[in-house]
Structure 1
Amino acid sequence: MRASRKRTFEFEDGGFITLVVLITVGFAYLLAPYFGAVLWGVIAAIMFQPMTARLARMLGGRANLATSIVLLGLVAVFVVPTILLGISLVNEATNLYGQISSGQIDIGKMIHDLHAALPESVQRFIAQYGLTDFGRLRSEFGSSISSSLQSIAGRLLTVGQGALSFVAGLGVMLYLSYFLLRDGERYGNLVRDALPLHDDTRDSLIQHFLLVVRATMRGTVVVAVVQGLLGGVIFSLLGIEGALIWGVMMGFFSLLPAVGTGIVWVPTAIYLFATGELGKAAILVFCGVFIIGMVDNVLRPILVGRDTRMPDFVVLIATLAGLELFGLNGFVIGPVIAALFMAVWTQQRDRKLAASRAASEAANEARRTAEANAEAHPS
């Protein structure tokens, strides 16, 4: 009878676990259209819920007022500037394309000038691959731009739906952020208590997760914004066309360790050197190395700290894989998953070492006991 009850209990328990997994997967699938909005709502809560709680205490416990103030601040500091940047970026790209189409910016002439400034050995090497037909290069470049614009024009029919989706996603993010900022601690406790893990393992992983998310956001977003802003300003002061676009690109590439902003300013400096703009090239190299580059070396260790530092190759692979799988959201998801992967296996190693030490101590204690018994009762 007991064995039958035990088997019934195990079967029902397994069935409930299966039901929990299936419903959780179904709920995640349901949220998939607003995955980005939910992700950024959770990130906003993780980053600013402690600030909201402190502000609520300062306001005499008025949590709704404190949450509204923090949320309005987030909209003013992050949402509105991002929208304005997107509009300016579209305008700059349109203006740049107009200059290329009208011949004000002649890509073929730029390539020809760069080729003429190269050493003869390099010119012969390039000639071997048939890259000296500048007319053809210019034609292919213009054709690729035209194809891109045709693709964009084809999407204009759905611009209304896209705008509606953007507004809906933004609304979901702000709505979710409000409740998570106000009641985030209570919801966090509910999730923590429901996790099927030992208390010490659960608390350690949650603490590491929060630490990694905050460090990732500080160490990537802040550094990207600062480097992109500095790069755009420097390009603008040097009179380089499309400074806003280059600044945004430098901010984006700053997310990738070992690549960084150099992928933008180094080729630009080489072109300026090759075309005789030695002063501008020297200034760009100096600023790239000692201003833009030093931002990463100085700010990132301060913002991230040593507790969440991962090898650069892990960060690079995780970021690229995250961007490939999740789009722009992947620059957060990739490093967080990699950090949690390392944390889980570090805990597994620590548990195994602790078990090994405990077994060794038990064996030593048993040996000492046996030796003491042998001394007390000699044969």
Structure 2
Amino acid sequence: MIKILERQTFLIALTFVTGLFLFLLKPFFAPILWACIIAILFHPVQLWLKKKLGEQPNLIALITLIACIFLVVIPFLLLLTSFFQQGSALYQRIASGEIQLAQYFDQIRRAFPVMQQFLERMDIDIASLQKNATELVVGIGSFLTQNAVALGIGTFNFFTKLALMLYIAFFLLRDGRQLIEKLIYVIPMGDERERLLFQNIAGVARATVKGNLLVAMLQGTLGGLIFWILGIPSPLLWGVIMAIFSMIPVIGAGLVWVPAAIYLYTITQWFEATVLIAYGVFIIGLADNVLRPILVGRDTKLPDWMVLLSTLGGLTLIGVNGFVVGPLIAVLFVAFWQIFGKDFNVGKYAHQDSNSEIETNAEDSIKSKPGKQL
């Protein structure tokens, strides 16, 4: 009785201390998450270096991290800087009156009277819709302007978290395998189950980041290229926005190029609008409809509808980190139910197997005695 009480008290204290520690780590959720993703994505590079350099964990982790900085971090910062600069420049043109958003809305209303009639039938106030859309665009532009200035002088918070992410990534690259083995040792769920879960976590993180980022980069590049060819202002800005929106499966990039095509129709640029629609459907859309299921759905072993819902749910609840966390939760949900079905329904399956075995034996017995068949 005393031993049971001691064990229960210890487990309560362990749960409390663990929860308290996780609460302390909450402000650093994003750096820890992306450090884990870096360690998972660059693990093949680490294995290749290990074959070339032998057992030198510190050197291998350092070289891998430097490769990550030059291949991922620096290009991302350069792209982010250009994105904020073009966004703030566009906002300045709107604020100065050079770009009249109200005029654009009037052109769209005149060019598509059917759309106006449809909105009126749905009891949607067009003036209110125009006002809200204008406020949204101005708000986004203001946000980009403020953050462009902040990025130019270097925000302490951003670069602190970036440095923390790289710092954690180094130790995960160096000691990640030992950490996983320790977790498998202390978690009381059975080594086989735990290894299966860790494999699923690594596979989903690798598939979602690799797949979604490749699709986002491809769609953003294709979108920015066609905007530049058609002479649409700030093609880099719209390309980056398309890449961001492409994190939303199915409809992502279309949230940018469809309104652009509609506007081109309103200003009677029929050829450019038709080219943009055809390009968006057959080129940009092809990357989403063909590559995403191959790169994401196949590796995660999740159906397309579950990938879509979990991604949207993750993005809605926790922002950009959700496009990884959402599918990760979904695959853990599936994995736990598979383990439950395998391990906790043994009696049910054993009963079914026993019945099938009895039926098989009975059939064999009848076949072996043809004289007694009815």
Give the TM-score range, shorter chain. 0.7 to 0.9
5+ residue gaps, structure 1: 1-6, 370-379
Deviates more, 1:79-88 or 1:318-327: 318-327
User: How many angstroms apart in 2 are the aligned matches of 1:152 and 1:51?
Assistant: 36
Residue by residue over 1:188-236, the C-alpha shift from the partner in whole angstroms, topping out at 9 and shown as x without a partner, is 1111111110222222212111111111111211211211121112112
Distance between the aligned counterparts of 1:150 and 1:215, measured in 2? 35
- What are the equivalent positions in structure 2 for 1:326-341 lying under 5 Å apart? 326-341=318-333
How much identity, in percent, do the aligned residues show? 38
Separation in 2 of the partners of 1:340 and 1:254? 24
Secondary structure at the aligned position of 1:306 is classed as helix
Output the CA distance in 1 between the equivalents of 2:146 and 2:212.
34
Does residue 1:297 correspond to 2:289, yes or no? yes
TM-superposed deviation, 1:321:
2.6
Q: Which residue of 2 aligns with 1:80?
A: 74
Q: Which of 266, 272, 295 is matched with 1:280 structurally?
A: 272
Q: CA separation in 1, counterparts of 2:288 and 2:53?
A: 37
Task: Give the one of 184, 187, 210 matched to 2:179.
Answer: 187
Partner Cα distance (2:2, 2:359) in 1: 44
User: Is 1:116 matched up with 2:110?
Assistant: yes
- 1:159 to partner: Cα distance: 8.5
Asked whether 1:93 is paired with 2:87, we answer yes
Task: Confirm or deny: 8 A CA contact 1:322 1:330 kept in the other structure.
Answer: yes
CA distance in 1, matches of 2:339, 2:132: 54
Cα distance change, pair 45–130 in 1 and its aligned pair in 2 (3 A):
closer
Distance, in Å, in 1 between the alignment partners of 2:282 and 2:228 is 18
Distance 2:118 2:359 in 1: 76
Alignment check: 8 A CA contact 2:297 2:307 kept: no
TM-score scaled by length of structure 1:
0.83
Structure 2 CA distance, aligned partners of 1:169 and 1:234?
35
Alignment partner of 1:238 is 2:227:
no
Paired residue for 1:346, among 338, 347, 367? 338
Unmatched runs of 5 consecutive residues or more in structure 2: 362-374
Q: 1:98 to 1:28 in 2, by over 3 A?
A: same
1:42 paired to 2:36: yes
Which residue in 2 is equivalent to 1:376?
A: none
Q: 1:31 aligns with which of 20, 25, 28?
A: 25
> Residues 132 and 207 of structure 1: is their aligned pair in 2 closer, same or farther, counting only changes over 3 Å?
closer
- Supply the distance in 2 between the matched residues of 1:140 and 1:253 (Cα, whole angstroms): 20
Count of residue correspondences = 360
Q: CA 1:123 to 1:303, structure 2 compared with 1: closer, same or farther past 3 Å?
A: closer
Tell me the residue number matched to 2:367. none
Helix, strand or coil at the partner of 1:105: coil
In the aligned structure 1, how far is the partner of 2:126 from the partner of 2:26?
49
Change (3 A) 1:10 1:161: farther
The correspondence of residues 1-379 of structure 1 with structure 2, limited to 5 A, is 7-119=1-113, 121-124=114-117, 163-304=155-296, 306-361=298-353
Return the letter of the residue paired with 2:351: A
CA contact (8 A) 1:321 1:334 kept: yes
Q: After TM superposition, give the deviation of residue 308 of structure 1 in Å.
A: 1.7
Deviation at 1:104, TM superposition (A): 2.7
CA RMSD of aligned residues (A): 3.3
Encode CA deviations 1:154-197: one digit per residue, 9 max, x unaligned: 99999899811222211111111111111211111111111110
1:367 and 1:350 mapped to 2: Cα distance?
Answer: 24
Conservation of the 8 A alpha-carbon contact between 1:45 and 1:177: yes
TM-score by length of 2: 0.84
What are the Cα deviations for residues 11-38 of structure 1, in whole angstroms up to 9, with x where unaligned? 2222222222111111111111211111
In the alignment, the residues of structure 1 paired with residue 136 and residue 355 of structure 2 have an alpha-carbon distance, to the nearest angstrom, of: 73
Per-residue deviation at 1:305? Answer: 5.5
Deviation at 1:75, TM superposition (A): 0.8
